[in-house]
Amino acid sequence: MLVSLKGKKALIGGSSRGIGRAIAEQLAASGASVTLMARSEDKLKAIVKSLPSTEEQQHSYLKVDFSGFAEYRKTMETYFAENEVDILVNNTQGPAAGGSLEKEVEDYQEAFDLLFKSVVFTTQLALRHMQQQSWGRIINVASISVKEPLSYLALSNSIRAAVVTWSKTLATDVARDGITVNNILTGYFDTERIADLNAKKAEQLGIAESEVRANMEEQVPMKRIGDPREYGYLVAFLASEKASYITGINIPIDGGLLKSL
């Protein structure tokens, strides 16, 4: 099966590393013109130059900071005043780890701005063009923790669950416009985020980071951590015409980690 995104424009959040970068690379390899979003301009410039490209593709980047919503809002309004996208991948960095008893109300508000308000606002801007052309793809990078909460990720558990339920409502509202809205429930992938969380857990438990990773791999039925490129393949499929009848669903990509149905 050939997945072609030729002629499509994609905007991808958190794409300077990890899963976001892998998504950008695969969408570009499938023929889309990709716009990267992240904080590090140096990294963004380097990645744009390295993306697969043809004469028909025009890759670019947008420097944004998801953690400051007021400034983020201005940046996105300026971008969408001059640009249109066919494929939107909502992905941001995760909020700080920690259990529910460690977090204050202010922490939840910051996480809400980071994970929810940024997603809703960006999607609203992108929808204008999608509805006009009766075609669009909205893909949200979520987590398996919305089904089985992780005790050390109270902020992420709570706010990503809100994103997932909002997305279900949105999918129903825009289905008639030829726009699909889907959530990917992320398991364990070999990224900097996982490495950071493992380092914190190793320090708390007084064990080596390698032991934490080995324990993590043991939990996964496939006995390994996911390769970010595998994530990119799924997103490319969901962004394509091949997935035109798939909307409003949560798709786990976790090597069988989730125990719930």
Tokens read off for 224: 């390994």
Q: What percent of the chain has pLDDT over 90?
A: 88
Report residue 174's pLDDT band, with 50, 70 and 90 as the boundaries: very high
User: What value does the mean pLDDT of the chain take?
Assistant: 95
Q: What is the pLDDT of residue 194?
A: 87
Q: Which tens digit of pLDDT belongs to each residue from 213-240?
A: 999 999 999 999 999 999 999 999 999 9
Q: What is the pLDDT of residue 130?
A: 98
Q: With beta carbons less than 8 A apart as the criterion, state whether 103 and 156 touch.
A: no
- The sign of the dihedral angle between the CA atoms of 26, 252, 14, 7 is positive
Q: What is the pLDDT of residue 204?
A: 86
Mean pLDDT of 180-191: 96
Q: Which tens digit of pLDDT belongs to each residue from 126-143?
A: 999 999 999 999 999 999
Q: Which tens digit of pLDDT belongs to each residue from 33-63?
A: 999 999 999 999 999 999 999 999 999 999 9
Report residue 95's pLDDT band, with 50, 70 and 90 as the boundaries: confident
Mean pLDDT of 250-261: 95
d(CA 75, CA 245): 33
Site of tokens 């786990």:
252
State the burial class of residue 244 (Cβ atoms within 10 Å of its Cβ: 0-12, 13-18, 19+).
exposed
How many C-beta atoms surround the C-beta of residue 129 within 10 A? 16
d(CA 158, CA 42): 33
Is the pTM here over 0.85, yes or no?
Answer: yes
Q: Which tens digit of pLDDT belongs to each residue from 24-35?
A: 999 999 999 999
pLDDT exceeds cutoff 90 at 96:
no
pLDDT exceeds cutoff 90 at 22:
yes
Q: What is the pLDDT of residue 154?
A: 92
Report residue 193's pLDDT band, with 50, 70 and 90 as the boundaries: confident
User: What are the structural domains of the chain?
Assistant: 9-187+229-252 (3.40.50.720), 190-225 (no CATH)
Task: Find the helix or strand (DSSP H, E) in which 253 lies.
Answer: strand 250-253
d(CA 164, CA 261): 16
Mean pLDDT of 245-251: 98
Q: What is the pLDDT of residue 66?
A: 93
Q: Which tens digit of pLDDT belongs to each residue from 143-155?
A: 999 999 988 889 9
State the burial class of residue 58 (Cβ atoms within 10 Å of its Cβ: 0-12, 13-18, 19+).
exposed
